[in-house]
């Protein structure tokens, strides 16, 4: 999966810098299932003196027997069964010496089988601080890593060299999985599949977006048809409660109180469930920029889960009975309305920085603003500049864009977020005769698809350069 490593270049560099340091290095790499941890670490281990072990759910005796078997293959001679993790580490130091890397994948299974392993690992690290080795702990249990392994009460607290949480890919990075799609088709695909590498790898570029949605998500028996259900069954307790919460959000209920009511939980307990969903990078709490104590809204930020709860779950019976074409027709008839919400979120969290860089505008904080019935899709603020942005998933002309920009300026005057320099930008799916943008004074109109096409060409050149450099290594 070549594209995974282009897109995870930043994460790869973090691991490489950590490993290149002096003394013993302890590195934690974690993230939810299917997010690309194993591919990243196996790529990192290429051409390095690296022992890679994937733990299994088993008793302590069986697990350490499997560890010994894997090590025997790696060093080319039999080794005895280990009683614990520090016996294994001491043996590695004795047999291999220094300058090696150990990767424990699914490390939470080792701890489940041998609860003492964390304390024993802590003792080994403390006794071998100057030893030139790296130990990488990898796993898909986010709560285990954040609370039990990296938390304040963990024996390993303060001893890690670096901890790296892998998150789903953004729209721009995900595009590298289907580089032959044009910007519109890429937006359609991302709005249904999201940024999880295992999901993106399923996409068939020879088919259009709706064909991929039909074949890879809507068809009973396809991997993504019931992946959302399987995900929650494996990741959380009370999966039915989380499913009810996301169903409510997907149906347009964004306030915690109303979500709690629809999901059948108390208003006090809803925060706990939302915390878990935030840690899993599925939802995000949104607060109005610049307003203290403003009402919080909840937003699904993973497009796959957004699509699944919007189109699959409500139609599960019809899809089970094979009425895929009928459901797909419903998707087509409402998809642009659905995509308009997705693109607002994706733009605010990612694309805004790229667009503003194209305009040579530096900003710091970015967010939404709303008060009562007034709302601004995106506000970006720099030291002496504020940028107010309205996003329209439709085709308009420059005259319409200017009218929207003037209305936007009027709304901006209510926010208290204006600076000495203020810019008002209207971004539409397409704007006639703006390729990619038009400007009049402090009003800017941007044709989104055309701007994305321009950005894509620059990214393709960058990726070609990166691939060339990596192939030389």
Instruction: Dump pLDDT digits (tens) for 187-223.
Output: 999 999 999 999 999 999 999 999 999 999 999 999 9
Question: Can you read off the two tokens belonging to residue 257?
Answer: 């109180």
C-alpha to C-alpha distance for 44 and 63, rounded to whole angstroms: 25
**pLDDT at 465 (0 to 100):** 44
**pLDDT at 459 (0 to 100):** 67
Q: Which residues lie closer than 8 Å to 70 by C-beta, 6 or more apart? A: 51, 53
Q: Is the backbone peptide bond immediately before 401 cis, with ω within 30 degrees of 0?
A: no
C-alpha to C-alpha distance for 252 and 463, rounded to whole angstroms: 38
pLDDT digits (tens, 9 = 90+) for 230-257: 999 999 999 999 999 999 999 999 999 9
Residue 5 clears pLDDT 70, i.e. is over it: no
DSSP state of 35: S
Do the Cβ atoms of 138 and 29 come closer than 8 Å? Answer: yes
**pLDDT at 469 (0 to 100):** 44
**pLDDT at 463 (0 to 100):** 54
3-state secondary structure of 99: coil
CATH code for residues 359-457 = 3.40.1350
φ and ψ of 83, to 5 deg: -85, -25
Residue 44 Cα to chain centre, angstroms: 20
Taking residues 270-288, report their average pLDDT: 96
Do the Cβ atoms of 337 and 394 come closer than 8 Å? Answer: no
Residue 189: how many CA atoms within 13 Å on its side-chain side?
A: 33
Would you place residue 460 in the very low, low, confident or very high pLDDT band (cuts 50, 70, 90)?
Answer: low
Q: What is the mean pLDDT of the chain?
A: 92
Residue 85 clears pLDDT 90, i.e. is over it: yes
Percent of the chain with pLDDT over 70: 95
Do the Cβ atoms of 179 and 466 come closer than 8 Å? Answer: no
Taking residues 85-104, report their average pLDDT: 93
Residue 445 Cα to chain centre, angstroms: 29
**pLDDT at 282 (0 to 100):** 97
Residue 473 clears pLDDT 70, i.e. is over it: no
What are the helix and strand counts (H, E) for the chain?
A: 22, 13
pLDDT digits (tens, 9 = 90+) for 14-63: 999 999 988 999 999 999 999 999 999 999 999 899 999 999 999 999 99
In CATH terms, 2-165 corresponds, of 2.40.50.1020, 3.40.50.720, 3.40.309.10, 3.40.50.300, to 3.40.50.300
Global model pTM greater than 0.85: yes
**pLDDT at 461 (0 to 100):** 55
Question: Can you read off the two tokens belonging to residue 297?
Answer: 């809204």
Pairing of strands 297-300, 283-286: antiparallel
Do the Cβ atoms of 280 and 265 come closer than 8 Å? Answer: no
Pairing of strands 50-54, 101-105: parallel
Q: Domain 171-346 adopts which CATH fold?
A: Arc Repressor Mutant, subunit A (1.10.10)
Report domain extents, the chain. 2-165, 171-346, 359-457
Residue 285 Cα to chain centre, angstroms: 15
Q: Which residues lie closer than 8 Å to 158 by C-beta, 6 or more apart? A: none
C-alpha to C-alpha distance for 184 and 429, rounded to whole angstroms: 9
**pLDDT at 466 (0 to 100):** 43
C-alpha to C-alpha distance for 365 and 289, rounded to whole angstroms: 9
**pLDDT at 55 (0 to 100):** 96
pLDDT digits (tens, 9 = 90+) for 405-458: 999 999 999 999 999 999 999 999 999 988 899 999 999 999 999 999 988 877
**Count of Cβ atoms closer than 10 Å to residue 106 Cβ:** 19
C-alpha to C-alpha distance for 341 and 328, rounded to whole angstroms: 19
**pLDDT at 98 (0 to 100):** 87
């Amino acid at each position: 999966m070549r594209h995974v490593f282009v897109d995870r270049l930043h994460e790869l560099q973090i691991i490489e810098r950590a490993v290149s340091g002096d003394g013993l290095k302890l590195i934690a790499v974690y993230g939810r299932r299917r997010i690309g941890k194993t591919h990243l670490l196996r790529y990192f281990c290429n051409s390095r003196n690296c022992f890679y072990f994937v733990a299994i759910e088993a008793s302590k005796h069986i697990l350490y027997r499997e560890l010994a078997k894997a090590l025997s293959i790696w060093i080319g001679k039999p080794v005895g069964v280990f009683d614990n993790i520090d016996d294994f580490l001491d043996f590695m130091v004795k047999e291999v010496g220094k300058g090696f890397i150990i990767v424990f994948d699914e490390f939470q299974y080792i701890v489940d089988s041998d609860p003492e392993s964390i304390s024993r690992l802590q003792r080994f690290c403390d006794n071998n601080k100057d030893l030139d080795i790296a130990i990488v702990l990898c796993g898909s249990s986010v709560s285990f890593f954040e609370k039990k392994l990296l938390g304040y009460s963990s024996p390993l607290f303060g001893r890690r060299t670096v901890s790296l949480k892998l998150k789903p890919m953004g729209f721009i990075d995900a595009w590298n999985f289907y580089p032959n799609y044009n910007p519109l088709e890429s937006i359609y695909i991302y709005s249904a599949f999201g940024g999880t590498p295992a999901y993106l790898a399923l996409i068939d570029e020879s088919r259009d977006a709706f064909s991929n949605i039909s074949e890879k998500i809507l068809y009973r028996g396809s991997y993504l048809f019931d992946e959302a259900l399987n995900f929650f069954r494996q990741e959380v307790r009370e999966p039915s409660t989380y499913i009810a919460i996301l169903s409510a959000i997907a149906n347009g209920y964004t306030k915690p109180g109303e979500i709690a009511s629809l999901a059948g939980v108390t208003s006090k307990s809803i925060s706990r469930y939302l915390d878990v969903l935030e840690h899993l990078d599925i939802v995000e709490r949104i607060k109005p920029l610049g307003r203290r104590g403003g009402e919080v809204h909840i937003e699904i930020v993973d497009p796959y889960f957004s699509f699944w709860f919007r189109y699959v779950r409500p139609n599960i019976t019809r899809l089970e009975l094979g009425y895929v074409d009928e459901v797909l027709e419903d998707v087509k008839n409402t998809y642009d309305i659905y995509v308009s919400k997705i693109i607002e979120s994706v733009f605010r969290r990612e694309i805004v920085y790229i667009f503003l860089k194209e305009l040579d505008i530096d900003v710091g904080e970015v967010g939404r603003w709303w008060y009562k019935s007034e709302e601004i899709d995106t506000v970006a603020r720099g030291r002496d500049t504020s940028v107010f942005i309205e996003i329209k998933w439709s085709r308009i002309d420059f005259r319409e864009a200017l009218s929207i920009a003037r209305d936007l300026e009027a709304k901006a005057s209510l926010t208290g977020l204006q600076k000495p320099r203020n810019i008002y930008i209207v971004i539409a799916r397409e704007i006639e005769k703006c390729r990619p943008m038009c400007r009049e004074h402090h009003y800017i109109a941007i044709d989104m698809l055309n701007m994305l096409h321009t950005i894509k060409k620059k990214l393709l050149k960058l990726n070609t350069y990166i691939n060339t450099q990596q192939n030389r290594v």
